[in-house]
Amino acid sequence: MSARQPARSNHAPDSAGSGPPWPGDRGGHLWDKDREVITEDGARIRYVLLGDDDATHEAPPVVLCAGFMCPDNFWVHLGPSPARRHRVVVLNYRGVGASTDPRPPGYRGINLRAEDYTIPRIAGDVAAVLDAEGLSGALALGHSMGVEVALQLWRDRPDLVAALSLVAGPYRSPMHTFYGSDLGNALFPVVRYGLPLVPRPVQWQARKALLLPVTIPVARAIRALGPHTPEEHMRRYREHFAQVDPMVALRTAQGMHEFDAGGWLGQIDVPTQIVVGTHDAWCPPSVGEALRDAIPDARLLVLEGASHAAPIEFPARIVHHLDELLVDRFALPPLTSRRQRSAQ
């Protein structure tokens, strides 16, 4: 079941980013979410379509699968560029941005279940949006946790996915590779069972620490962000995360942590682009190499100096690499000239 309004053909980011007055909207929008689909369990997934119907009907759609609790901030470049030729779907996951949870979380998230936020459940929400719009054969572009979502979308609904672009994301829990160690995997249960014991007022106050000016320098110091990460594009993420229910974030992190596509990567039968950065503490180049070696038709791009925020650090390189994939797979004319690509 879905409720729709006409999509805007203008795909430039909205500098205000205020979003429409959806009840409980957490903000963080580059583009107003003017459509919604209601999932089987009652979550309302809000989204927008970028691009002009008349100009893009010959090209396959592109669906953007965001990272952990991410609104739109990492799509500031990777959304508008493909929208010059493709229909681009920008959605908020359940519990993120304008989208709702399947039911009100309640005190300490008592009304939520772990199965509400698994990667297959989130991939199902993406499928519901594509089905509502009658879109199939898409390029699924995932960033961070969105790589897991894109992989699961292919596995569950191969009719919806004609190609994959996997940017700075893992195929299993990033806790196995965070800072090149498996320590995060051992410590995650402490967070999983410890956070619910923290007094609710403390949980909510802790989120506000993300708004402090020191956040970005600290993130750079611990390599959560890189020296090339634009601070202005992280503002929406920080402001949005400060509005996220901590228990919803925990449930989503649990779903991300329990996912593992390692056993079936070799079955992927669509062209796949993989992008990793040399300075990514969450998804180091070794993860990209493992994906490339496991997926039969895969290409790997390693971005020197890029961190986990690669989509807003080196967007031109990623767009050119993406364009090559689309040109080869769908026999489309390039969006960028050969001279532009070779200069990157």
Architecture in CATH for domain 2-13+22-337? 3-Layer(aba) Sandwich (3.40)
In this prediction, residue 242 carries a pLDDT of 85
**Hey, where are the domains in the chain?**
2-13+22-337
Residues lower than pLDDT 70 in the chain: 1-20, 54-57, 107-109, 175, 178-214, 218, 221-222, 336-344
In this prediction, residue 15 carries a pLDDT of 47
On whether the CB atoms of residues 271 and 297 are closer than 8 A, the answer is yes
**DSSP-assigned letter for residue 333:** P
In this prediction, residue 293 carries a pLDDT of 97
pLDDT tens digits, one per residue of 198-214: 666 666 666 666 666 66
Q: What is the DSSP string of 58-100?
A: TSPPEEEE--TT--SGGGTTTTHHHHTTS-EEEE--TTSTTPP
In this prediction, residue 179 carries a pLDDT of 56
In this prediction, residue 262 carries a pLDDT of 96
In this prediction, residue 54 carries a pLDDT of 65
On whether the CB atoms of residues 145 and 256 are closer than 8 A, the answer is yes
